Structure 1
Amino acid sequence: MGFKCKSCIGTWTVFVIVWLELVLAVDVNLLTDLGLDLLPDRTKINISLEEYTSVITTYLKLKDDTFEEVPELKVYRLDNLRQQNTSKHPLKMVFPISASTEQAESATLRIFLPPQDNDSTTIKVRLNQILGPRRRRILQDKELYLSKQSPKWCDIDVTKAYNSWLNGQKNLGLELVCLGCNNNLNPKLAAITALIYNVQKRSKRDLSIDKRTISNCGPRHQKGKKKKCCRHEMNVTFKDLPFIQLGSIVEPQWYEAGFCHGLCPPQYNFATNHSRIQGLLHQIKKNEARAESTKNTIPKTCCAPSKLGDLQIIMVNRNDPTKLDVHTWEKMRVLECACS
């Protein structure tokens, strides 16, 4: 019995090792194909506000709006910054953001921090949203990589705070705390950049998108009945995927990829003339097999993508970490489905 158990454990171990090797090989190939195999040194990334706004404007012009609304870029600057003793007290900033009918896909605090006199240039900070005299909400703990020689741009996500202000919460500002250090965090410049949607316009647009995504599905089916082949929604959030390399993507944070699913009954939504012939032969062979008690040798058509779209991605330039590049990843989004 013990021998059999050891044999089973050995077989299982070999299986796991082979499986991991296959998965890792697929991961490496995927990352290489997407241009994520070589990444810039994150300690040297220094993207200016001007570089970001310039590239993001180009990106938004290229962005496909087939199934997603194209957001608008808004920039809130603090040009006249009051000097504060940040070595003893948190840095406080209040941006001119008030309630509106908008909603942010993403919002980022961008601060231009001065050269550091301290020995430590790698510091950990905490960004809080100020809710009251003694009330704070932690937005993010983040490691910043500063410089002794020159000022450097750093960014921290503030989407939760930004959306709460749009929803009517009183804007008392942000608070940046240096954890366990006394570095100079007085920014030379500071801004919040946000990609926003008008909620009222978006709700109307969602209705038209729903009609378009089911346009090749035929009439709506009764509850309990299986649906025919059509496109379904599938949102992909990069941070949820098991690749740390995807953290180098500046925009978008997510995208609507879509997938195909459903039945392919006879003479329904064929992708090509070949699939039309295959569907016809499947029916003929199916009837012959039933009469002769044999197996059907021609498979039925399957629901699959019939039209794919590209995806624009913004990443830090691997050779110059002060620049951003817009890349096009081909065939990343399902636009239409058919029986093939």
Structure 2
Amino acid sequence: MGCYFRAKKVFWSSFIVVFMSSFTFAHPDSGKFLSDLGIDVFPDRAKINISLQEYTRVISDFLNSRDMSFEPVPSLRVYKLDNLIKHHRPQQHIKMIFPIGITTDQIESASLRLLMPPQQENPTIANVQIYQILGTRRKRLLTEDTFNLSRNLSKWCEVNVTEAVASWTEGSKNLGLELTCESCSNNLNPEIAAITALVHPQGRRIKRSPKKGRTDCSARHQTGKGKKKCCRHDMMVTFTKLGFNEMKDIVEPKNYEAGYCHGMCPPNYNFATNHSRIQGLMHQLDKSYFKQFKNKTSIVPKTCCAPSKLGDLEILIVSSHDPTKLKVEKWHNMRVLECACS
């Protein structure tokens, strides 16, 4: 089985290598890409309404079921604002101070979750800004977002505040957050406010240890020329950087260790099948014959480094049938587990 046929099996891995970048962009073939992953329908983002109770219940079960073979699994922390000030009239500037202080925990991600009241006669779209308060007259913009609210129902909204929470746990003074909507007439008085954070206790967020039998790169994969033989390399994938808007609806994981295969394939080294072993030997024979007789007959190609074993990935997303619920789906062949010459 040659590299061409092996490439079909590793479509996902090669796709990520091509599209990984530090910026986002739209892809015209996103429908086919998502369909290949097994996703036909994503929920209407304007209707998503995941409660704090639903999130904490499902995410706790999801984290407890996670495999720690590739990344350490975080723990969930919930910081609820119990002394929420109730204003008697709509406010466009809401300040909130959550009970978060210095800790040795490492913050993986943190989200501000707000239950916004019905808007009645107000617009249902609010373009808001979230600031971290740094001093009396100093604040830092964390993010701008659009809240899709409802005239009749209370609506849960979520905003990324990882940067602020991480700074508080690392020693910055916690003066709170400010929710602002300068040009809107919406009622932004939240009925419930909480921050949920995924954290790694001190010493737990360490680089994954390869399991026995996996072809992770190590000293034994070095050749005499300092080059590496075929082995598995780490590759962290962040979904939002892939450029598909639908990827923003993935609740967890936000990123994952996908891995990729790279390296030289010397004769008779780490062959995937008996066929690849023979192909490697034939390549050497043809190469030797060519050098000896200057025969221009095409040489059998050498084997190439490719995934020989792939693993699945469980993701947590909003249900396309009920935007108030979360569900777990399994995406197949998302991780490279082992590499071999094929």
CA apart distance, 1:24: 6.6
SS in structure 1 at match of 2:209? helix
Q: Does the aligned pair in 2 maintain the 1:127–1:177 contact within 8 Å?
A: yes
Asked if the contact 1:59/1:314 (under 8 Å) is kept, the reply is yes
Aligned partners of 2:96, 2:194: CA distance in 1, in Å?
10
- Percent identity at matched positions? 52
Q: Distance in 1 between matches of 2:141 and 2:210?
A: 36
Relative to structure 2, which stretch is displaced further, 31-40 or 191-200?
Answer: 31-40
Counterpart in 2 of 1:246? 247
Quick one: which amino acid aligns to residue 90 of structure 1? H
Bigger mean CA deviation after superposition, 235-244 or 136-145: 235-244
Q: Is the Cα contact below 8 Å between 2:108 and 2:199 reproduced in 1?
A: yes
Q: Aligned residue for 1:236?
A: 237
Corresponding residue number in structure 2 for 1:99: 102
Deviations along 1:231-276, whole A, 9 cap, x unmatched? 1121211111121121221211111111111100112111222222
Task: Please state whether the residue corresponding to 1:239 is helix, strand or coil.
Answer: helix
- Which of 108-117 and 58-67 deviates more? 58-67
| Aligned CA distance change for structure 1 residues 284 and 89 (closer, same or farther; 3 Å) | closer
- Tell me, in whole angstroms, the C-alpha distance in 2 between the residues paired with 1:207 and 1:84: 49
**1:298: Cα distance to partner?**
2.0
Partner residue in 2 for 1:336:
338
Asked if structure 1 preserves the Cα contact closer than 8 Å seen for 2:117 and 2:190, the reply is yes
Q: Compute the TM-score of the two structures, normalised by the length of structure 1.
A: 0.85
Aligned residues: 316
Match of 1:156, SS? strand
* 1-structure distance, mates of 2:159, 2:28: 33
- Tell me if 1:310 matches 2:325: no
* Range that drifts further, 34-43 or 142-151: 34-43
Residues 180 and 25 of structure 1: CA distance in aligned 2, closer, same or farther (over 3 Å):
closer
Shift of 1:217: 5.0
Aligned residue runs from structure 1 range 91-130, under 5 A: 91-130=94-133
Bigger Cα displacement from structure 2, 184-193 vs 212-221: 212-221
Question: Is contact 1:36-1:245 (8 Å) kept?
Answer: no
Q: Deviations over 1:159-185 (max 9, x none)?
A: 000110111101111111123123222
Report whether the alignment pairs 1:149 with 2:152.
Answer: yes
Provide the residue aligned with 2:57 in structure 1: 54
After superposition, give the CA deviation of every residue in 1:276-323 in whole Å (9 maximum; x if it has no partner): 222222222322333332235422111001111111111111111111
Higher alpha-carbon deviation: 288-297 or 182-191? 288-297
> 1:130, 1:175 within 8 Å by CA — same for their partners in 2?
yes
- Cα pair 1:311 1:328 within 8 Å, conserved: yes
What is the CA–CA distance in structure 1 between the aligned matches of 2:216 and 2:37, rounded to whole Å?
31
Q: How does 1:215-294 map to 2 (within 5 A)?
A: 215=216, 217-219=218-220, 221=222, 225-294=226-295
CA distance in 1 between partners of 2:213 and 2:179 (Å) = 45
* RMSD between superposed Cα atoms in Å: 2.5
Q: Which residue identity is paired with 1:256?
A: E
CA contact (8 A) 1:114 1:151 kept: yes
Partner Cα separation in structure 1 for residue 255 and residue 276 of structure 2: 34
- Give 1:89 deviation, angstroms: 5.3
Show structure 2 runs of 5+ residues with no match: 1-25
TM-score, normalization by structure 2: 0.85
Instruction: Note the residue ranges of structure 1 that are not aligned, 5 or more in a row.
Output: 1-22
Q: Do 1:86 and 1:185's aligned partners in 2 also have CA atoms closer than 8 Å?
A: no
Structure 1 letter corresponding to 2:333: K
Q: 2:81 aligns with which of 71, 78, 81?
A: 78
1:183 corresponds to: 186
Q: Does 1:206 align with 2:207?
A: yes
Cross-structure match for 1:3: none
| C-alpha distance in 1 between matches for 2:224 and 2:134 | 47
Of structures 1 and 2, the one with the larger relative CO (CA 8 A, separation 6+) is: 2
Q: Is the 8 A contact 1:86 1:182 kept in 2?
A: no
Encode CA deviations 1:191-219: one digit per residue, 9 max, x unaligned: 111111124232xx327359997646552
| Structure ranking higher in helix proportion | 1
* Residue 169 (1) aligns with residue 172 (2): yes
